[in-house]
A and B are shown apart, each in its own frame.
Chain A
Amino acid sequence: MDLIQSPLFKALSAVKPLELEGSEAFKRALRSQSSEFFPSLQDIDKQQVIRMAIEVKDYTTRCWQGTKRLQDLNPIPAQVYIPEFGIL
């Protein structure tokens, strides 16, 4: 089965990239501090840093949990043919 042509791949590809508050702040910080690869957090409001850190930690936790669930999935047959009951 060609995965690239599968409906699941198309559905997943159509999902918009996740926008985190941290990503927006990272973009802004990169624009203002173009010489740094990882910009400093000192210029960002403390409450915002807390919000961003909680959001990113939740996001990475969800990603790991999702990956583990996918790893534990058993294969599911895409087509089942049971001639005894005439089911295709």
Chain B
Amino acid sequence: MNVEDYLNVISNLNRAVINDATALLALTVAWLDPLTVLEDSDELGETDLADFYYSGDDIGAALRVARDCFPGIYAEAIGKIRDGLGYQQVSDFISSEITDRTGIPMDQYDEPAAYAYGIPIPFYGAEWTESNFIEDHSELTALALLLGATRQETYGSDQIEFSSKTYQIAHILQASLWEHYDNSLHRSLMWAIGYATSSTGNSSVDFTYEEGCEFQPLSWMPDEVDFATAIIREAEQIMTESHQGLLLIQNDPCIRQILIDKIKEANVIVDRLQKKDLLYGVKSEFKLNWPEFIEVHKDVDHEE
């Protein structure tokens, strides 16, 4: 058979496939979802990711996760295998696509494609017992000290200690800033205070890596992937805005002074409410009002 004959055979087969509804359906499935054809459906659903991990089947784990949670990536990966790409390249493609679409840091695995460990989550939590962290995050440290935290030397290295009153002051400031959530300046201050005191409510921002490792990781299921994506996207936004808030406090003397005044007010409120045992009551009890920062900026510009 020469090449022309061969191509004719293929062409005739293709025509036959197109005209036969059942064959067309079967080949469409084999084209886009070959694991369904290659494996028993019960095994496909029940094989533990740990089995792939212990047998060193990186591509098997990657394809399984992609099929369950990212059908588009899965179909593209299958296409790449058919186009002749190596398994390692396809596994890398799946990892990088997952990161691009969800923000999940796939490079955080100690070993490549270690999906059996669950969904990796970044943890940005402030590590106040690490002197390197304190030195590297001078703006955050300055804010913590403004809020009432103290710098202490323990075993020859600096640590930042938070009293319960510091957390109470931060709680009042955040609750009152929440009332101005639509204003990006108020919001950035709120997230900066939340980041400094690990009280944003977002696990990725509040927990350090070591604290995060204490929890059972989310597993590679579509709902949990959506949940992890939401946490990571929100954490990215909080970290960006809290960084802006820290720069504002450091560089804008007007905002810095307002914050100092509000911390003093919050201090008085904590004392007053503690006597009445109302500290964690209704937010309006705090009666801590913030000015419109845009007007403050206009005044500063005018003076300049």
The interface of chain A, by Cβ under 8 A from chain B, is: 17-18, 20, 22-23, 26-27, 30-31, 34-42, 46, 49-50, 52-54, 56-57, 59-60, 64
Contact = CB atoms under 8 A, between A and B. Distances in A.
Contacts of A42: 79, 83
B7 to A, nearest CB: 6
B17 A30 contact: yes
Interface string B149-166: 000000000000000000
Given A27-B24, A42-B83, A22 B76 contact: no
Nearest to A34: B11
A53 B24 contact: no
Contact of A38 (B24, B25, B30, B76): B30
A64 to B, nearest CB: 4
Interface residues of B, number: 29
- Secondary structure of the A contact surface, majority rule: helix
A28 B7 CA distance: 18
Nearest to A26: B28
B22 interface: yes
B33 A56 contact: yes
A22 B26 CA distance: 11
Contacts of A20: 25, 28
- Secondary structure of the B contact surface, majority rule: helix
Contacts, number: 83
Contact of A64 (B10, B31, B41): B41
B82 interface: yes
Nearest to A41: B79
Interface in B29-64: 29-33, 36, 41
Nearest to B74: A53
25 contacts: A17-B25, A18-B25, A20-B28, A23-B24, A26-B24, A26-B31, A30-B17, A34-B7, A34-B10, A34-B14, A35-B7, A38-B31, A40-B79, A40-B82, A49-B76, A50-B71, A50-B72, A53-B33, A53-B72, A53-B74, A53-B75, A57-B32, A57-B33, A60-B29, A60-B33
B147 to A, nearest CB: 47
B65 to A, nearest CB: 13
B28, B33, B67, B72 — which one has the most chain A CB atoms within 10 A of its CB? B28
B91 to A, nearest CB: 18
B63 to A, nearest CB: 12
A72 B246 CA distance: 63
B14 A56 contact: no
Nearest to B3: A35
B294 interface: no
Interface string B221-248: 0000000000000000000000000000
Contacts of B74: 53
Given A22-B32, A52-B32, A57 B71 contact: yes
A26 B27 contact: yes
